[in-house]
Amino acid sequence: MYKGYRGKSLACLKNFKVGVWSDVEVESTRGSFTGTILPRSETADEFHIVLKLHNGYNVGLAVDTIESITELGRTEAHYKIPEKEFPFDPDKKNVKLFGTGGTIASRLDYRTGAVIPAFSPGELYGSVPELADICNLKTEKLFGVFSENMGPEQWKGTAEAIGKEIATGTDGIVIGHGTDTMHHTAAILSFMVQDSPVPIVMVGSQRSSDRPSSDAAINLINATYTAAKSDIAEVMVCMFGPTSDQYCLLHRGTRVRKMHSSYRSTFRTIGDIPLAMVEKDRFVLLKDDYRKRRNDRKVRINTSFDDRVTIVYYYPNMKPDIIESLIDNDYKGIIIAGTGLGHVNKPLYPVIKKAFDKGVHIYMTVQTLWGYVQMFVYDTGRDMMDLGVIPAANMLPEVAYVKLCWALGQSHDREEVRNIMMTPIAGEITEREPHNGYLIFQGGIPEVEDFIKRYKR
């Protein structure tokens, strides 16, 4: 009845015996207004009442200026995506969509003024009817959390749900996920779910589906198509490819990273090229070294996890007490994101030695993201290895982080952990970096500008 109102504004509503969704006429020292009282965001101040005028505009009226409010009736908003039963076609593949949160489908949350997810096959069919041309879709909401709140518990739950779903015979799995930590989840699922016979496709949207220019529909259509039809039986991320609404890219779960805070085309494969492009009803394969789809149901689920691991992002002048406090707090694994080829400064050496002696597993990755750790080139690197730091090749820092959690969940034996860490399971370490794996075009350079202009989009 008073959603979001507090203090003065709440008192004002109570005084005039009106509440949220009341159709009212307000007399104020700034004129009279007719409209519907809307819920107020909890983070907004207590001095205004929000009214939706009949022309659709919202205005905030200062409580101080209000002389009277008269209720004329009530209009409750029923925000509902038109729900239609998802059609079943025996000739089509069966796809399961797991929901974890995020903005694939969403609606407005009056409490916070932000968008919250809405999700069911009927709702999805109502808003993206194209899905019915692709597959028979079933959905299951695993969690309703924002991307930043995904953690070990949700990762394990998702992996187990995938295992069960594969056992029941699905042709492909789509996982709706918030974009912020999608690459963390993609990485851990690549380790927890092994030898999947079917595609496991993660998808989200950078622009929420409450806006006409949202990338949600195109991403979801392409992800579903991939789950139903693709021959690639791996954990992948299917997200917006170029700047324009054209195609999505399929990224390998262990090589993908969110690279821009807001762009649609934020996901990039790092240190390699994407697996494929997917557009409407076709794939363009870019690589052929992927695991193929199979008819068996033999999937291995291993949800081991020890969360006493951290990433230390090195910067010049980092003090030993940072590592000291990790030792004191019983951390068992440290992923260092070092400078250049994998370096930290000398004053850290003693504390790294101390950590090693206390049994902490320390791996080196690069904060440049692109390229391999190479600790033989400089003395500092060699010194570090003498201290027990293990170079983690071209594993991305976040990938090394979740993999070390997973490895420590299985063993604390130094050699065994090292063996798990350094044996590539899902492309997290590659033997070679293709020459076109690293391409960040520098805007402004004539040939780049020419390329952009000629290829448009």
Partner 1 sequence: MTGIRKMEDMTSSDYEAIGLRSGLEIHQQLDTEKKLFCRCPVLPYSQSFDAEILRHMRPTLSELGEYDGTALMEFKTKKEIIYKINKDTVCTYEMDDTPPFELNLQALDIALEITMLLNCKLISELHIQRKQYLDGSIPAGFQRTTILGVDGWIPYGDRRIGIIQLGLEEDACREVSDTGHDRVYLTDRLGIPLIETVTAPEMVTPYEVAEVAVILSNLARASGKVRRGIGAARQDVNVSVRGGQRVEIKGVSRIPTIPLLVHNEAFRQVMLLSIKSELKKRGITDSSFESSSFNITETLADTQYEPAADALSNGLELHAVVLRGYRGILSTVTQSGQTFASEISDRIRVIACLDRLPNITHSDSGGESFSDSEWERIKKSTGAFENDSVVVVWGTGQDIQTAVSEISIRAREAIDGVCNETRQSFPDGTNGFERILPGPNRMYPDTDLPPLAISVDHMDRISSALPERPWERKERYIAAGVPEESARQMSISMLRDLFDRAVKETPYASGVLMHFFLSTLSHLKKRGIAPDLSDDVLILSLAEAGRKSLTIDAVAHILENTRGSEFKDISLVADEIHMPEMKTLGKAVEQILSGIESSEIEQDILKRIIFGRIRQRFNGLINGKEVSELVHSMVLQERNT
Q: Return the residue of 170, 179, 196, 209 that touches partner 1, per CB under 8 A.
A: 209
Q: Smaller CB distance to partner 1: residue 115 or 286?
A: 115
Shortest distance in whole angstroms from residue 396 CB to partner 1: 24
Q: Smaller CB distance to partner 1: residue 435 or 457?
A: 457
Candidates 70-78, 94-102, 168-176, 323-331: pick the segment binding partner 1 (CB under 8 A). Answer: 70-78
Query: What is d(CA 114, CA 107) in angstroms, rounded to the nearest whole number?
Result: 8
Cβ neighbourhood burial of 328 (10 Å; 0-12, 13-18, 19+): exposed
**29 part of the active site:** no
DSSP 411: -
Give me the catalytic one of 103, 224, 269, 430: 103
Binding flag, residue 62, partner 1 (CB under 8 A):
yes
Q: Return the residue of 91, 296, 330, 453 that touches partner 1, per CB under 8 A.
A: 453
Hey, which residues between 391 and 450 contact partner 1 (CB under 8 A)?
449
Q: Nearest CA to 122 among 103, 105, 144, 143?
A: 105
Shortest distance in whole angstroms from residue 275 CB to partner 1: 23
**179 part of the active site:** yes
Residues 6+ apart with CB under 8 A from 276: 230, 232, 249, 250, 283, 284, 285, 286, 287
Binding flag, residue 456, partner 1 (CB under 8 A):
yes
| Diameter of the chain measured on Cα atoms | 80
Residues 6+ apart with CB under 8 A from 105: 81, 117, 118, 119, 123, 124, 127, 209, 216
Binding flag, residue 211, partner 1 (CB under 8 A):
yes
Q: Return the residue of 1, 11, 72, 77 that touches partner 1, per CB under 8 A.
A: 77
Collapse the DSSP code of 174 into the 3-class scheme (helix H, G, I; strand E, B; otherwise coil) and give the result.
strand
**43 part of the active site:** no
Query: What is d(CA 73, CA 36) in angstroms, rounded to the nearest whole number?
Result: 9
Site string for partner 1, 79-118 (x = CB under 8 A): xxxx------------------------xx----xxx---
Give me the catalytic one of 100, 158, 179, 226: 179
Hey, which residues between 2 and 61 contact partner 1 (CB under 8 A)?
30-33, 41, 43-45, 47-48, 50, 52-61
**310 part of the active site:** no
Query: What is d(CA 153, CA 213) in angstroms, rounded to the nearest whole number?
Result: 34
Query: What is d(CA 150, CA 105) in angstroms, rounded to the nearest whole number?
Result: 18
Query: What is d(CA 102, CA 188) in angstroms, rounded to the nearest whole number?
Result: 18
Binding flag, residue 236, partner 1 (CB under 8 A):
no
Q: How far is CA 362 from CA 144, 358, 391, in A?
A: 34, 11, 9
Q: Is residue 385 within 8 Å of 419, Cβ to Cβ? A: no
Binding flag, residue 307, partner 1 (CB under 8 A):
no
Binding flag, residue 280, partner 1 (CB under 8 A):
no
Number of residues this chain uses to bind partner 1 (CB under 8 A):
59
Q: Return the residue of 2, 143, 146, 263 that touches partner 1, per CB under 8 A.
A: 263
Collapse the DSSP code of 329 into the 3-class scheme (helix H, G, I; strand E, B; otherwise coil) and give the result.
coil
* Phi and psi, residue 235, nearest 5°: -80, 120
Hey, which residues between 116 and 175 contact partner 1 (CB under 8 A)?
127
Q: Return the residue of 316, 431, 446, 457 that touches partner 1, per CB under 8 A.
A: 457
Q: Is residue 365 within 8 Å of 396, Cβ to Cβ? A: yes
Active-site residues, by number, are 103, 179-180, 258
Q: State the residues that interact with partner 1 by CB under 8 A.
A: 30-33, 41, 43-45, 47-48, 50, 52-62, 65, 75, 77-82, 107-108, 113-115, 127, 207-214, 217-218, 243-246, 260, 262-264, 449, 452-453, 456-457
